[in-house]
Amino acid sequence: SRTRAFAAVDLGASSGRVMVGRVGPGTLELSEAHRFANRPVALPEGLRWDVLGLYAGVLDGLRAAGGAAGGRLASVGIDSWAVDYGLLDADGALLGNPVHYRDARTEGVAERVWARVPATELYAATGIQYVPFNTLYQLEAERGTARFAASRQLLLIPDLLAYWLTGERGTELTNASTTQLIDPRTREWAHSVAGRAGIDLGLFAPLRQPGDPAGKLLPDVLARTGLPGPVPMTAVASHDTASAVAAVPATERNFAYICTGTWSLAGLELEAPVLTEESRRANFTNELGVDGTVRYLRNIMGLWLLQESLRAWGNPELEPLLREAATVRTGSGPGPVVDASGPAFLAPGRMPERIAEACRAAGLPAPRTRAETVRCVLDSLALAHRRAIGEARRLAGREVDVVHMVGGGVRNALLCQLTADACGLPVVAGPAEAAALGNVLVQARAAGLRADRRRMRELLAGTQPLASYEPSGDGRAWARAAARISA
């Protein structure tokens, strides 16, 4: 049978891209049609996403994807970062600019929710970790604003863009799980939590499953992108991390994964959530994945620490800095490290200074050069990866023989090697565009490709370039550093 082309729109916190995936019997090829920066805007009212700029990038990307695919796109799917949303008024028009999850408005807000639904009960009912920006807390912060009073519907970011492309509204399940308003056992809305938290679930459009049809591109969109219609949209795993985990090319049974981009998301794929009090205290999340799976993982600050350091330095070239960072002498384990799992580095600004301050506060020598700062970031991430995978396997009662790293961070060989050293496990790195590949594969399945998760992973392992890293250095030195941070 023939090869078909699918367009995957993947919006990360640092860049958006439209990729073309060609899928045939035993073949899977991905190419980039268009990439554009995702630059949040700091307004007097707060930190906002430039969602109109992103939509323009999506239209440019669909035009380029159509060109690359010789005009014929079998379907389109969209995934993006989680938790954030746009509010629509009674006419279906967007109310203001979607608020960035790093905006300060959620400071101190969770406590107000916990006064109505204790944190322990929230976790037992939703399995979602505490981060200040879960949609549940953002909605609490929104309460009482003129904008919220005028709103009639909430659409998560990928669903908002899909609405503009098709005119149809839905709430895709994997991303919906990050609102903290879904019960991971039933995979339906958690009505009792929403009721007690004072949230009207009527704001949300009906749930959609990954693989569901999601309308077709509007005539005006076809005209603007030069695509011959009809072009159907497919609901994919619209949370980027869910798409990326679906595309982890693991052929081993006992694998852990780390999605490395702006964030590091490190953990396990499970068949059922872990809702224990111990799991809550360790701040593990049970986000929903494709095919009834649970993404049991921890959020780690990720390459955000590096992105923000580079920004503070006026964006020098990355490669020479990484080469220099690789030669920084740290002994047999990590050099000075900061806790990359906590919320201390969530807000933008002054990153190198904040990292140095955190080192000094922990009684460690602060990095003095840019290369030392970069090395401190990478050592800290590797250590946080080690801790997350170690705790996930203990809390879920699983073995781990290999760590798969996917996402843009796999282009950073030093990070991959340090992660192998820290975990004391082999690391398989790639693909870098896992989210787009997961997006494409879910579309291909909806279009008739017969592949369960195992088959999808075999296809990825057989077609995508991967790199291997064996653990080196002194595992005990990493264990000592981990113990210092936990203390």
299 touches ligand LRH (CB under 6 A): yes
Question: By the criterion CB under 6 A, which residues form the site for ligand ADP?
Answer: 12-15, 261-262, 303, 306-307, 318, 407-409, 411-412
* Residues 180-199 contacting ligand LRH, CB under 6 A: none
Question: Is 149 exposed, middle or buried (CB count within 10 Å of its CB: 0-12, 13-18, 19+)?
Answer: exposed
Q: In this structure, are residues 99 and 45 in contact, taking their beta carbons and an 8 Å threshold?
A: no
177 touches ligand LRH (CB under 6 A): no
Q: Which does 249 bind (CB under 5 to 8 A by kind): ligand LRH, ligand ADP, none?
A: none
> Could you tell me which residues are beta bridge partners of residue 36?
16
Min dist. Cβ of residue 295 to ligand LRH (A) = 9
Closest CB to ligand LRH among 161 and 359? 161
What is the Cα–Cα distance from 306 to 216, expressed in whole angstroms? 39
304 touches ligand LRH (CB under 6 A): no
- The one catalytic residue in 10, 84, 240, 339 is 240
Query: Beta-carbon neighbour count of residue 58 at 10 Å?
Result: 27
Q: Which does 275 bind (CB under 5 to 8 A by kind): ligand ADP, ligand LRH, none?
A: none
- Distance of CA 6 to CAs 21, 58, 68, 163, 215, Å? 5, 14, 11, 19, 15
- Distance of CA 345 to CAs 34, 129, 200, 309, 487, Å? 31, 17, 32, 11, 19
Size of the residue set binding ligand LRH (CB under 6 A): 14
237-276 footprint of ligand LRH as x/- string (CB under 6 A):
--xxx-------------------xxx-x-----------
Q: Which does 66 bind (CB under 5 to 8 A by kind): ligand LRH, ligand ADP, none?
A: none
Query: Is 240 an active-site residue?
Result: yes
Q: Which does 299 bind (CB under 5 to 8 A by kind): ligand ADP, ligand LRH, none?
A: ligand LRH
- Distance of CA 224 to CAs 10, 168, 208, 227, 228, Å? 20, 18, 27, 8, 11
* Residues 81-120 contacting ligand LRH, CB under 6 A: 81-83, 101
Min dist. Cβ of residue 285 to ligand ADP (A) = 17
Min dist. Cβ of residue 430 to ligand ADP (A) = 12
What is the Cα–Cα distance from 102 to 91, expressed in whole angstroms? 29
End-to-end CA gap in the chain = 59
Helices (H) and strands (E) in the chain, counts: 19, 21
Q: In this structure, are residues 425 and 400 in contact, taking their beta carbons and an 8 Å threshold?
A: yes
Active-site annotation, residues: 240
Residues of this chain that interact with ligand LRH (CB under 6 A) are 12-13, 81-83, 101, 239-241, 261-263, 265, 299
